[in-house]
């Protein structure tokens, strides 16, 4: 049937508008300024024309090959969030309701000077004056300027309390206790550093890092919202529970042994160090922090925070932590340790999953441009234009020794089991009972766990999984995990029986999914001569009173390739 003149005109006009609209969106996706969600809209249009389709939960599937599950924020979804369970905070930036123009991240000119981050204890008076000047200027900027200190501090509040939803989902976005922990913080301090340098006209300016993992760097520097008993020259406690009367020398010995566990023996697999695999949507959420995030990261946040505030603010809560300048030096050191860990494994444990590499966030740069970066952009610090001044790593050689000779310890364990004695606790249950009912961690809990012994493959790691951890209340929670513990007076990271720790700051914008704690123990079991035993004893030792608000679903052994 022939079309009349009016219908021909309508058809041609519609086709022209569709082409122009697509071309316009394509131009927005070029290297010029873009707008959030324009790229998604283009893909939806092209999907209809080229056979692309929307997969489950509205996730775009390209050519039917793979549904992308990368995580990213819906920047117009900002809403008040809870900094503490009793405190609603609004960290949303001005004008967030409308999409804002952005540019995709571009690496700095490789010919520009490399920014060298130095340990805080090694900087000189001139550097301190320069840093102080930059901070003073930043703090003088009005709140509507995204380079201002208040807006910089709010970034952590926004992304760490669930103030943003994910794109294409009403699931909250959070970067703690997942594999996004390291890359998100890397980019936050990257832009913060460049803004500070631009405010004083110094393109070589670099943040210091607080080298709390070595003896020379164990003291902190000053801020008003701090625990006054932890001000310099107090030695930092990397496995902080409560204040002790240890000498600086003893504290440093414990710190070094603890760092060995968190960086070496307990972090021999990517998931153990980086955190769990976090995918888009509610079903993709995970809650499994890596070794360094648990402690020293969480432990030092709590150690630094003021005991006079309900949540040990500033540093003791995620919503307020970045108000303390030490936050940036603290995370610079964590960022450095990510590089140290990669170097130790010759980068063989890097994540290749495209859902991690394609996850993205937005930050303002020193030129007031909103920049979108992908996680894949941040895996090479040299390409980002900065590096770290090397320091000695004494913890690399601090492999702990068993508290008792292994043969004697195993015989004592067998005797206790035979006589049905309690294992250092008021509660002695089997792992099957624990799995079935769950238990409150109101006292030391020792369980017998099947070792599932078999001849493990060369690249496998034995892992203790404390699963289904549920934390109620809003206090700092910490318990330690030991293997084949004999003597309750020898409980320290200095002894080989120590397998790891659970150090938890409530909040962080995470969902309600229970937490899984995974601890690599292949080396621990080898040193205890228990790697071929049919079963081992695992002790969960509460170290904070708040553990009475913690329940545990169970304990099991797994293998990770």
| Enzyme catalytic residues | 156, 176, 185, 297, 301, 318, 331
The tokens of 500 are what? 């790891």
Residue count (the chain): 561
The DSSP-derived string for 427-496 is: EEEEHHHHHHH-EE-SS-EEEEEE-------TT-EEEEEEEEEEE-SSS-EEEEEEES---TT--STTBT
In whole angstroms, give the CA distance from residue 31 to residue 85: 43
Torsion sign (Cα): 349, 350, 352, 357:
positive
User: For the chain, percent helix, then strand, then coil, each to nearest 5?
Assistant: 35, 20, 45
Rounded to the nearest 10 degrees, the angle between the axes of helix 326-344 and helix 181-199 is: 130
Q: Which strands form 103-104's sheet, in the order they lie side by side?
A: 103-104, 370-374, 360-364
Rounded to the nearest 10 degrees, the angle between the axes of helix 125-140 and helix 149-160 is: 80
The tokens of 315 are what? 């540093």
The tokens of 246 are what? 């240890």
Do 235 and 229 contact (CB within 8 A), yes or no? Answer: no
Q: How far is CA 32 from CA 96, 101, 468, in A?
A: 21, 10, 47
**Gyration radius of the chain over CA positions:** 26
Q: List, in order, residues 6 or more apart from 58 with CB less than 8 Å away.
A: 168, 169
The tokens of 385 are what? 């234009």
Across-strand partners of 229?
none
Do 527 and 239 contact (CB within 8 A), yes or no? Answer: no
């Amino acid at each position: 049937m022939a079309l009349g003149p009016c219908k021909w005109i309508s058809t041609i006009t519609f086709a022209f508008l569709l082409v122009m609209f697509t071309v316009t969106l394509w131009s927005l996706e070029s290297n010029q300024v873009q707008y959030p969600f324009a790229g998604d809209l283009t893909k939806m249009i092209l999907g209809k024309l080229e056979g692309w389709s929307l997969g489950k939960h509205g996730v775009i599937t390209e050519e039917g090959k793979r549904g992308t599950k990368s995580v990213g924020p819906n920047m117009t979804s900002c809403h008040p969030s809870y900094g503490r369970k009793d405190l609603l905070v609004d960290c949303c930036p001005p004008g967030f309701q409308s999409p804002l123009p952005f540019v995709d991240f571009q690496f700095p000119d490789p010919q520009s000077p490399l920014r060298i981050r130095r340990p805080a204890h090694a900087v000189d008076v001139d550097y301190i004056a320069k840093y102080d000047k930059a901070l003073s200027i930043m703090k003088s900027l009005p709140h509507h300027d995204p380079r201002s200190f208040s807006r910089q501090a709010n970034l952590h509040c926004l992304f760490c309390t669930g103030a943003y939803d994910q794109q294409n989902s009403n699931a909250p976005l959070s970067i703690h206790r997942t594999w996004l922990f390291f890359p998100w913080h890397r980019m936050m301090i990257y832009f913060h550093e460049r803004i500070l340098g631009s405010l004083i006209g110094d393109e070589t300016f670099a943040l210091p890092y607080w080298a709390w993992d070595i003896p020379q760097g164990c003291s902190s520097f000053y801020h008003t919202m701090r625990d006054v008993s932890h001000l310099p020259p107090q030695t930092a406690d990397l496995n902080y529970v409560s204040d002790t009367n240890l000498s600086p020398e003893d504290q440093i010995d414990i710190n070094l042994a603890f760092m060995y566990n968190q960086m070496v023996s307990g972090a021999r697999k990517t998931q153990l160090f980086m955190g769990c695999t976090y995918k888009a949507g509610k079903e993709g959420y995970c809650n499994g922090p890596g070794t360094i995030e648990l402690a020293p990261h969480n432990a030092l946040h709590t150690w630094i925070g003021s005991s006079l505030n309900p949540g040990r603010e500033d540093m003791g809560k995620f919503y307020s932590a970045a108000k303390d300048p030490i936050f940036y030096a603290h995370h610079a050191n964590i960022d450095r340790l990510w590089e140290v860990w990669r170097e130790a494994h010759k980068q063989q444990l890097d994540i290749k999953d495209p859902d991690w590499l394609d996850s993205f966030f937005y930050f303002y740069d020193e030129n007031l441009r909103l920049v979108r970066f992908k996680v894949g952009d941040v895996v090479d610090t040299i390409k980002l234009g900065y590096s770290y001044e090397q320091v000695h790593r004494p913890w690399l050689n601090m492999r702990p020794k068993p508290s008792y000779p292994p043969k004697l310890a195993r015989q004592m364990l067998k005797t206790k089991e035979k006589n049905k004695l309690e294992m250092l606790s008021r509660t002695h249950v089997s792992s099957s009972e624990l799995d079935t009912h769950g238990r409150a961690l109101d006292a030391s809990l020792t369980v017998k766990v099947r070792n599932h012994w078999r001849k493990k493959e060369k690249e496998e790691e034995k892992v203790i999984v404390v699963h289904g951890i549920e934390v109620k209340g809003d206090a700092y929670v910490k318990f330690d995990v030991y293997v084949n513990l004999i003597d309750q007076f020898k409980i320290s990271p200095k002894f080989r029986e120590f397998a790891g720790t659970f150090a938890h700051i409530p909040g962080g914008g995470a969902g309600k999914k229970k937490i899984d704690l995974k601890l690599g123990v292949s080396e621990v079991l080898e040193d205890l001569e228990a790697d071929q035993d049919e079963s081992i004893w695992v002790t969960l030792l509460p170290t904070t009173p708040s553990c009475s608000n913690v329940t545990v679903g169970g304990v099991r052994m797994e293998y990770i390739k």
